[in-house]
């Protein structure tokens, strides 16, 4: 996968499912990361071809739970992001999914307690030997692009030193979120420290943090020297941020997201979560729309709410 001059959808838990990734790609994203999947979950999955939807599903054995869903249309742009703290388990998990994705990325930046408590995400930042073990194990045993995503460490020097160690493992690219573990989303991203990493490496660096308008892609690229730029919240709030023609009204984007969720039979809880996150930024869940989303138990409910009943009936009636 080429990591130069790309607009990248960042991994977002419960958001980065197939419909959202395809919507981002439709608006102009070049690379789309899925939501983080923990290795423990993936090793308990089996690969199934879903002939009704035309998807490739990784389903928890003995259940109907779809842990990860992809399709051939995104084969060359989707990145599977994994949470792990064990090299052998990471390899076992990656082997299950690697032939259906463009790359496998190891999450080394998530500051959430569920990741930290399992020794995953940002907990890896203080374990360079384990990082090296995980990445080199994947690189030596898979014919697949391997990358990872980190956060800034306490000092720029420490971040650069870790980034250099990561580069030596042979990964194809490194994504850097311009915040430290203790920082909150409201704290400004430190583009200068991302620039320090870029200047110290020869592999592509993907810069992440505080991209809210299409113009910010160029601003961040110029400020950091990064090969590509990644966006999370800006894409969640209005996925058409990837469009060079300018953002569409968020109501339009929201309805298109709901349509894609209906088309790809996305988990209704995931869909409702994402729609509510969109609403929270632009409005309030205590108003009529937010209350209606909360009460929606089925896609028919959401279709009625957003005036998409005809689309819902067309899709459901024409499925095999």
Residues taking part in catalysis: 110
Distance in angstroms (rounded) separating the CA atoms of residues 306 and 251: 9
Q: Nearest 5°: CA angle at 14, between 78 and 93?
A: 55
**Which 3 state secondary structure label does DSSP give 171?**
coil
Find residue 48's DSSP bridge partners. Answer: 57
Find residue 183's DSSP bridge partners. Answer: none
**Tokens 């742009």, residue located:** 77
Token pair recorded at residue 105: 């990325």
Q: Who contacts 263 (Cβ-Cβ below 8 Å, separation ≥6)? A: 19, 315
**φ, ψ dihedrals at 33, nearest 5°:** -90, 140
Token pair recorded at residue 259: 């349509």
Q: Taking the chain, what is the end-to-end CA distance rounded to the nearest angstrom? A: 35
**Which 3 state secondary structure label does DSSP give 49?**
strand
The CA-based dihedral angle spanning residues 110, 197, 17, 297, taken in that order and rounded to the nearest 10 degrees: 40
Going by the DSSP 8-state scheme, the letter that residue 241 receives in this structure is G
**Tokens 């632009």, residue located:** 282
């Amino acid at each position: 996968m080429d990591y130069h001059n790309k607009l990248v959808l960042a991994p977002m838990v419960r958001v980065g499912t197939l419909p959202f990734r395809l919507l981002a790609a439709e608006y102009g994203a070049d690379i789309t990361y899925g939501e983080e999947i923990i290795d423990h979950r993936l090793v308990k999955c089996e690969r199934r071809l879903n002939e009704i939807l035309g998807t490739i599903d990784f389903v928890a054995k003995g259940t109907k739970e779809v842990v990860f869903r992809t399709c051939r249309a995104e084969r060359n742009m989707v990145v599977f992001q994994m949470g792990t703290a064990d090299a052998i388990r990471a390899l076992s998990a990656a082997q299950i999914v690697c032939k259906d994705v463009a790359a496998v990325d190891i999450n080394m930046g998530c500051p959430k307690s569920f990741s930290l408590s399992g020794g995953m995400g940002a907990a890896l930042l203080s374990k360079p030997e384990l990082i090296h073990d995980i990445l080199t194990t994947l690189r030596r045993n898979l014919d697949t692009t391997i990358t990872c995503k980190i956060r800034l460490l306490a000092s720029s020097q420490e971040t650069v030193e870790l980034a250099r160690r990561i580069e030596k493992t042979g990964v194809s690219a490194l994504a850097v979120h311009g915040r430290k573990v203790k920082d909150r989303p409201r704290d400004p991203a430190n583009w200068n420290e991302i620039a320090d990493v870029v200047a110290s490496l020869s592999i592509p660096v993907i810069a992440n943090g505080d991209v809210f308008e299409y113009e910010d892609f160029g601003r961040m690229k110029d400020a950091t020297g990064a090969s590509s730029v990644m966006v999370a919240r800006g894409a969640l709030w209005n996925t058409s941020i990837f469009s060079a023609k300018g953002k569409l009204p968020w109501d339009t984007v929201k309805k298109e997201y709901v349509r894609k969720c209906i088309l790809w039979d996305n988990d209704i809880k995931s869909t409702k979560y994402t729609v509510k996150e969109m609403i929270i930024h632009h409005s309030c869940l205590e108003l009529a729309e937010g209350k209606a989303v909360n009460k929606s138990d089925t896609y028919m409910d959401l279709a009625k709410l957003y005036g998409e009943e005809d689309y819902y009936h067309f899709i459901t009636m024409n499925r095999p």
